[in-house]
Amino acid sequence: MKALVSMTAHELHDKLVNREVSALELTRAQLAHIEETEAEIESYITVTSASALKKAEEVDKKIAAGEEISPLAGIPVAIKDNISTKGVLTTCASKMLYNYVPPYSADAYERLLGQDAVMVGKANMDEFAMGSSTENSYFKKTKNPRNTACVPGGSSGGSAAAVAADEAVFALGSDTGGSIRQPASFCGVVGMKPTYGLVSRYGLIAFASSLDQIGPITKDVRDCATVLSAICGKDEKDSTSLHVSTPDFLGALTGECKGMRVGLPKEYLSDAVDPAVREAVLSAAKAYESMGAEIVECSLPMLDYALETYYLISSAEASSNLARYDGVRYGFRAEGCEDLDSLFLKTRSEGFGKEVKRRIMLGTFVLSSGYYDAYYKKAQKTRTLICQDFARVFETVDCILTPTSPCTAWKFGAKSADPVQMYLADICTVSINIAGLPALSMPYGTDGEGLPIGVQLIGPRLGDAKILKAAYALEKGGR
């Protein structure tokens, strides 16, 4: 029989409703599996066993009383450690917040609690979500469950690895430039970055506020639609939260894609893309054609400028957002400081890791007098051109098909010495955050070494249901 911890959320929901298993049994099985697996994978910074068991008991009482339960009730979830959870350590995988326990919870997490999901832990990540490999965590390096010699991707590497290793049924991550989709691709699971503003950012510890977005990491597309339905919605505490009605994401999963127009941009299939990855994308395109979709060749020429634009804007916003970590109010405080200036200097020097300091310095530089117009202002103008590029293509297609990453997971240390090489791994994902669009990564084949390949579906603004529909059709009929 299929192990409980390897099942999807919708499979487990059916078992809970039919009383084939209790929420307490499921949670105990999940915690036992974490205990067995965690030493090898290292997905979690904090495991919340006691509160998870308590929540599971509450779900069982509702079932026993004959109450109707939500699709996520009793289902174990991992929460990325930059998403605030009241009363539970939330570190951003940084020494700077090694002891921070927030007094409030993120809106997305509160919505999951309202659905009676069971949080089993806080997932490891690149420090302050800055990285593409989860090698930048202050605490540990998460391993890729598909090959533990390889990175799981980042920055939501702990969340993706937890789902891939069956250490959680689903997870929440955050995506600033691909930080949900790229680790989902590397670990062979489904990951989605929703339209900017569809999910509240309240309680998400900020990296780059105009780019950050919370989203789901799941075992299949149906679970992705279910989780997105649970966490999206207008939040008055977030001024960027969209006031739109929640689409019927589950209703979009018809398994059909006949008549859909799927764009295939040439820029995403250049020689910089690994041949196995390119072949997987072209194979997915053929599968869509066989199911009645039309493949439309298109062009997004501003992609050539997306990476530079992203790192200028995101570093500038990081410089501003991370100025609050000064050793005065919360988190790490350096010892032996003689005055306020030395407290600031020593705390920030010791509290932040190398990658975070690199981006703060770059961001401070591009915002400084004499350089603002030359770099930051020009990046914002280029952002507008990238948005216009996508808008033009979406006049003729329903969604766009691309690789999620130009390569599969690399070995630990392979790109650490050269930050530029690490940044280039984000080339397929950053433009979507710049434009505020929805995008989903799903597994589609493996390379010659058996490592997962992810294909990415990009939708127009608020076209989240469209890409879920296209992804579900490919998942069910495109093999």
List beta partners, residue 123: 44, 80
d(CA 75, CA 223) in angstroms, rounded, equals 11
The catalytically annotated residue of 70, 174, 179, 229 is 179
DSSP 375: I
DSSP track, 289-346:
HHTT-EEEEE--GGGGGHHHHHHHHHHHHHHHHGGG-SSSSSS---SS--SHHHHHHH
Set 22, 84, 137, 155: catalytic member: 155
User: 27-54: buried (b, 16+ CB within 10 Å) or exposed (e) per residue?
Assistant: bbbbbebbeebbeebbbbbbbbeeebbe
SS3 for 85?
Answer: strand
Positive or negative torsion for Cα 312, 316, 317, 321: positive
Both tokens assigned to 81: 């450690």
How buried is residue 189: exposed, middle or buried, by Cβ count under 10 Å (0-12/13-18/19+)? Answer: buried
Q: Which H or E element spans position 400?
A: strand 399-403
Residue of 73, 85, 68 whose CA lies nearest to 121: 85
Beta-ladder partners of 446: 452
Respond yes or no: is residue 299 known to be catalytic: no
179 is catalytic: yes
Out of 55, 80, 143, 415, which one is annotated catalytic?
Answer: 80
Q: Could you confirm whether 210 is annotated as catalytic?
A: no
Query: Which are the catalytic amino acids?
Result: 80, 155, 179
